[in-house]
Amino acid sequence: MAAQAEYFIETQLSNHQKHYGSFTFPSILSPNPKSSPSSLSVFTEAIKSHKPFLDSLLLKSGALLFRGFPVKTAKDFNDVVEAFGFEELPYVGGAAPRTNVVGRVFTANESPPDQKIPFHHEMAQVPEFPSKLFFFCEVEPGSGGETPIVLSHIVYEKMKEKYPEFVDRLEAHGLLYTRVLGEDDDPSSPIGRGWKSTFLTSNKAVAEERAAKLGMKLEWLSNGVKTVMGPIPAIKYDKSRQRKIWFNSMVAAYTGWEDSRNDPVKAVTFGDGQPLPADIIYDCLKILEDECVPIPWKKGDVMLIDNLATLHSRRSFDPPRRVLASLCK
């Protein structure tokens, strides 16, 4: 891979990477000072010409952070995403309130800055989830606001070692997710996406049809709709890396799906409807925190996450902060 040095160089970010034998998590790429990009078009062309290298690095490390490249606006970010050539995934069935900015670029979860967003694989609670997701820092945080990331197979291994019976039960029964949606978006809630934007319609019959395609059951209420998803697997097998992964929204739902409509303890159960043990959930949260790498955002940063390899979260922050996202099939 020495030839890649003509454009990309791998750099180190002290205290914000973990070293796992043959690879570093995440991989951090910067422009080679000897061939520093003078324009966005040079960067996007380099992405296209170095695609096999970038794909293999993502397969190995699970996340790539591009730092120091000339990406300034949402439109620039959209061009970067397009350069990778991944197919867009429409945001149908997700919980977070988001706004389309330009092209295939959306705001990241717009929940209030004082709220943490717990660890999750993007849209793990629905059958059709993105395989990859991009984040872009348009405005860096006043303070805080890091995006901690953690390798999913490490979490699975730690949980399997510590709670083998619990993990066996998860593998046997999967998980059931329940969430009550209002009619319109509630920006004060981290799961405040209303049913109209969740299903991209104001027609209840169309919403039911789209929910059914996701395997989701709807129960209409006077002030919204109760959604039940599952049972769906809590553990998946990552074929490309040949390992089991902790692919679920269990901790996120149990500790974070809380607002005026939702009780987080009831938001997720075993697939057979039995309650989850609180002590194990909170110990899983501790494992996630212990194993994670918090990524501090700098203006212009672009992060590419393999959604099968890596969970992500968001720490609370002091404004301003604007991070945009794009989801890929």
Residue 2: what pLDDT? 41
Residue 23 belongs to a domain: yes
In Å, what is the CA distance from 152 to each residue of 64, 129, 317, 326?
Answer: 15, 15, 25, 21
Token pair in block for residue 276:
């989850």
- Same domain? For 280 and 306 the reply is no
Whether pLDDT at 128 is above 90: no
Q: Is 133 helix (H, G, I), strand (E, B) or coil?
A: strand
Residue 1: what pLDDT? 41
Residue 1 belongs to a domain: no
The dihedral sign for the CA sequence 104, 105, 106, 109 = positive
Which helix (H) or strand (E) is 176 found in, with range? strand 175-181
Of 273, 281, 279, the C-alpha closest to 250 is 281
Residue 3 belongs to a domain: no
pTM of the model: 0.93
Residue 47 belongs to a domain: yes
d(CA 141, CA 241): 34
Could you report the per-residue pLDDT of 1-14, keeping only the tens digit for each? 444 447 899 999 88
- Same domain? For 171 and 107 the reply is no
Residue 303 belongs to a domain: yes
Residue 2 belongs to a domain: no
Mean pLDDT, rounded, of the chain: 94
- Same domain? For 140 and 12 the reply is yes
DSSP 24: E
Strands 63-66 and 27-31: parallel
Residue 21 belongs to a domain: yes
Lowest mean pLDDT among 55-69, 89-103, 306-320: 89-103
* Structural domain of 246: 152-289
The dihedral sign for the CA sequence 86, 90, 96, 97 = positive
Measured CA angle at 72 (ends 5, 298), to 5 deg: 70
- Those residues with Cβ within 8 angstroms of residue 112's Cβ, 6 or more apart along the chain or in another chain: 187, 188
Q: Is 225 helix (H, G, I), strand (E, B) or coil?
A: strand
Residue 220 belongs to a domain: yes
What is the number of residues in the chain?
329
Could you report the per-residue pLDDT of 30-62, keeping only the tens digit for each? 998 887 557 999 999 999 999 999 999 999 999
Q: What are phi and psi of 119, to 5 degrees?
A: -60, 135
d(CA 182, CA 226): 9
Residue position matching structure tokens 């799906």:
257
Of 104, 63, 75, 123, the C-alpha closest to 304 is 63
- Same domain? For 278 and 219 the reply is yes
SS3 content of the chain, % helix, strand, coil (to 5): 30, 30, 40
pLDDT confidence bin for 95, thresholds 50/70/90: low
Q: Is 254 helix (H, G, I), strand (E, B) or coil?
A: helix
d(CA 194, CA 308): 27
- From the CB of residue 195, how many other CB atoms can be counted at a distance below 10 Å? 22
pLDDT confidence bin for 92, thresholds 50/70/90: low
- Same domain? For 216 and 136 the reply is no
Could you report the per-residue pLDDT of 220-257, keeping only the tens digit for each? 999 999 999 999 999 999 999 999 999 999 999 999 99
- Same domain? For 62 and 164 the reply is no
- Same domain? For 205 and 128 the reply is no
- Same domain? For 251 and 305 the reply is no
Residue position matching structure tokens 């867009």:
88
- Same domain? For 284 and 169 the reply is yes
What is the total count of domains within the chain? Answer: 2
- Same domain? For 156 and 283 the reply is yes
- Same domain? For 186 and 257 the reply is yes
- Same domain? For 167 and 237 the reply is yes
Helix axes 40-49, 74-84, angle to 10 degrees: 20
Could you report the per-residue pLDDT of 269-302, keeping only the tens digit for each? 999 999 999 999 999 999 999 999 999 999 999 9
* CATH number of the domain where residue 216 is located: 3.60.130.10
Of 235, 316, 308, 294, the C-alpha closest to 65 is 294
